[in-house]
Structure 1
Amino acid sequence: MRSRGFTLIELMISMLLGLVVIGGAMGVILANRQSYRTNEGLSQVQESARTAFELLARDVRQAGVTGCNNDGRVANVLNDEGVWWQTWFGLRGFDGTQADGAAGFGGALPNNRVQGTDSIQLQGIEGTGHAVAQHVPHSAMFHITAPTTEIAQGDILMVCDFDHAAIFQVSNYNSNNVAVVHNTGFAVSPGNCAQELGYPTVCGPHGAPYEYGLNSQLARLSAVSWYIGDNGRPAEGGRSLYRRRLGAAGAEEIVTGVTDMQIRYRAAGGEEFFDAIDVDSWTDVNAVMFTLTLQSADRRVTTDPTVDAGRLEREFSHIVTLRNRVP
């Protein structure tokens, strides 16, 4: 009985068919992997957008809130040192070429604002505040109804009733008799220029006389600036959404991968949104529209690796209204 093997041609055909099958399987695997990376990049961009809008919206909704009223009557006895948060404005925005005082334009330095991106500054109060039990103007002292760990020496506070609000710095807090003191001559910057907190502001030995009554509200002043900054990590895209706030040591990186922020504003009684440079009165603004551009951290996700190193890019818009400025 004769034995037979495979001929060379049959072996070559078999190898070719095997390579075709292996190549097809590898193509499917690579396509699935690329599809997974694209979906993962898209999910990352969408999640980053949700986080950014949620945190931005929290601050915008509270902008201009004093805790008592919305008539714009705010006294301020802080010594003027020209810092960005010191004067009362509630809300104000800056176009991509306008300096905002909170973060300078700085090339590729970490935390510095990116030229051409908008920024926004917001003021209000933190939390619900504390009720005033007694105000002794000539002693520059408030007694609150209960002890708290939220107030400390050097804090910037706002007190309000339905006549006006006032901004001052705590020179001393005594938890035993729940006394909040706001004397002049405090060694910590900026200090107070007057003891009394009447409106309009009068700086001097005493100030403008005024006594806040029972159940006036006392709370810490909140001031934040949102902007796009260089994060110093070019391998991840190099830009992030930052927040600088009163009381923090430096800028806080909030969401990575946000490469641009454009902001437009609507005034009460109007329908159109305008750039910051075209806003006539910031006290009339009752809605803000944010447009964020985000990129995925991973490269070579798209079909064209020559554009933004192949990072996936999406643009999202969101409108936020100011709670205390809408009917």
Structure 2
Amino acid sequence: MTMTRTAKPVRQRGFSLVEMMIAVVLGIVVVGGLINLFIANRKGYQLQSGANYLQQNIRVASDRLGWSLRMADFWGGNAYTDININSTATGAITSAGGSCTQAWATSLAPNSTGGGSVFGYSGSTTFPLGAACIGTAANYVKGSDVIVMRYVDTQILSPGPVPAEAATIAANPNQVYLVTAVGGQATLFANSPVPTTPTNSSSIRQYVYPYRVDMYYLRPCSAPAGAACAATDDNGAPLPTLMRQYLRSDGTFVSEAVVDGVEQMKVAYGVSVSGGTSPAPTSYMTASAVTAANAWDRVVSVAVSVVAVSPVRDIAVPHEATYKLSSDCTYKIAAAGTDVSACTNFTPFGDKPWQYTRAVQQFVVQLRNRNEN
């Protein structure tokens, strides 16, 4: 009789409870490390994006302001003293309110009240030209400066012995133009007929340029829900914005946002002893000081200082710094609180200002069209 041996069953073993707990702990450690790495990378990306945002904002602000400043005092080959102001020019403009009137818009003589190719206003508790000029007092960042430039655009409408585009000019009756004879005379006008400049000298080659008025100021919010900035704008964190108010082709003034995130702006004016005959400034002065010295006709360069602020909060470290933008504006950002000196009633951005990154830049623009008048 043959004996059959029964195979001994193989004993199978799984993870023990201890081994499983070790594996779970190791998994948690690895996943936690990955999460921390992801958070760190995301935070680094946000901070870098914030820094790029600041630099981009400063670049846009300097480019736009620089363009207007470089164009200031361009009158198609003439000096402002050669320009006649036709009543049609002032009649075509609608007052924006406050001191932003028709006469102010066409005031070309420096040292007149608010006139000239470049004129500035030092920061104040209220908008220096009257709150109605920008709609309401709530649309002005207190303590920030305001600057106005006047010039004619580079677009030439009608070169030739006699202006040839009367139909285009007639179709825009509220657009203010300058008709000029280079080295002769010029007239600021609106609608047709186009004045002959000089009088009874139609044989002299003439040009017509659109007239421009640019005013830059800071508004406390980027996108107001209504006519005035409010605490609920910009998702409850109103972001200060560089604004440009300009004279539109229909004769009205309109404000547009140039770039948001500009917290403060101060402007200094380089004054030369001999004005247009010497492009080198001997000193830089605030707008109020230039006005007091009756020296707007001797301003040959402009220095603009801006502070850009990121809308993204960074709580990792306090972003403490002191910003001295001019002799009449210094403010300190510190975790212990904000110390503001001279900037009249100015309040930095954010409910906790030290948790936001900032960047400051100053740029100087030479007034290349400044003539000896």
User: Considering the TM-score relative to the shorter chain, is it more than 0.5?
Assistant: yes
**SS of equivalent residue, structure 1 residue 270:** coil
Contact 1:131 1:144 in 2 (8 A): yes
1:168 pairs with one of 169, 189, 193:
189
Q: Which residue of 1 aligns with 2:206?
A: 216
In the alignment, the residues of structure 2 paired with residue 323 and residue 57 of structure 1 have an alpha-carbon distance, to the nearest angstrom, of 11
Q: Which residue of 1 aligns with 2:178?
A: 158
Q: Which residue of 2 aligns with 1:317?
A: 362
CA separation of 1:319 and 1:12: change in aligned 2, threshold 3 A: same
Deviations 1:135-191 (A, max 9, x none): xxxxxxxx4145674662222122333244332222x3xxxxxxx346xxxxxxxxx
In the alignment, the residues of structure 1 paired with residue 271 and residue 298 of structure 2 have an alpha-carbon distance, to the nearest angstrom, of 5
2:284 pairs with one of 253, 257, 273:
273
Q: Are 2:132 and 1:87 equivalent residues in the alignment?
A: no
Q: Which residue of 2 aligns with 1:225?
A: 215
Q: Which residue of 2 aligns with 1:19?
A: 28
Structure 2: runs of 5+ lacking an equivalent:
1-9, 96-100, 109-115, 225-232, 273-279, 319-349
CA separation of 1:282 and 1:60: change in aligned 2, threshold 3 A: same
Structure 1: runs of 5+ lacking an equivalent:
135-142, 173-179, 183-195, 199-209
In the alignment, the residues of structure 1 paired with residue 145 and residue 21 of structure 2 have an alpha-carbon distance, to the nearest angstrom, of 65
Task: State the one-letter code of the partner of 1:166.
Answer: T
Higher alpha-carbon Rg = 2
Q: Which residue of 1 aligns with 2:268?
A: 264
TM-score by structure 2 length? 0.66
CA separation of 1:56 and 1:224: change in aligned 2, threshold 3 A: same
Structural mapping, 1:281-320, within 5 Å: 281-300=295-314, 303-304=317-318, 307-308=352-353, 310-320=355-365
Coordinate RMSD, CA, aligned = 3.2
Structural mapping, 1:130-209, within 5 Å: 130=157, 143-145=162-164, 149=168, 152-161=172-181, 162-170=183-191, 172=192, 180-181=193-194
In the alignment, the residues of structure 2 paired with residue 197 and residue 99 of structure 1 have an alpha-carbon distance, to the nearest angstrom, of 36
2:42 pairs with one of 33, 56, 61:
33
TM-score by structure 1 length? 0.75
In the alignment, the residues of structure 2 paired with residue 218 and residue 150 of structure 1 have an alpha-carbon distance, to the nearest angstrom, of 10
Identical residues among aligned pairs (%): 23
In the alignment, the residues of structure 1 paired with residue 288 and residue 201 of structure 2 have an alpha-carbon distance, to the nearest angstrom, of 38
**Structure in which a larger fraction of residues adopt helix:** 2
Contact 1:224 1:245 in 2 (8 A): yes
Contact 1:240 1:254 in 2 (8 A): yes
Deviations 1:290-315 (A, max 9, x none): 11121223344764597348443211
Paired positions, count: 284
In the alignment, the residues of structure 1 paired with residue 154 and residue 242 of structure 2 have an alpha-carbon distance, to the nearest angstrom, of 24
Q: Which residue of 2 aligns with 1:251?
A: 255
CA separation of 1:181 and 1:318: change in aligned 2, threshold 3 A: same
**1:249: how far off?**
5.2
Task: Tell me which stretches of 4 or more aligned residues in structure 1 moved more than 6 Å.
Answer: none
In the alignment, the residues of structure 2 paired with residue 76 and residue 147 of structure 1 have an alpha-carbon distance, to the nearest angstrom, of 19
Q: Which residue of 1 aligns with 2:342?
A: none
Which deviates more from structure 2 when the two are superposed, residues 17-26 or residues 88-97? 17-26
**SS of equivalent residue, structure 2 residue 369:** helix
Contact 1:44 1:296 in 2 (8 A): yes
In the alignment, the residues of structure 2 paired with residue 90 and residue 310 of structure 1 have an alpha-carbon distance, to the nearest angstrom, of 40
In the alignment, the residues of structure 2 paired with residue 36 and residue 69 of structure 1 have an alpha-carbon distance, to the nearest angstrom, of 52
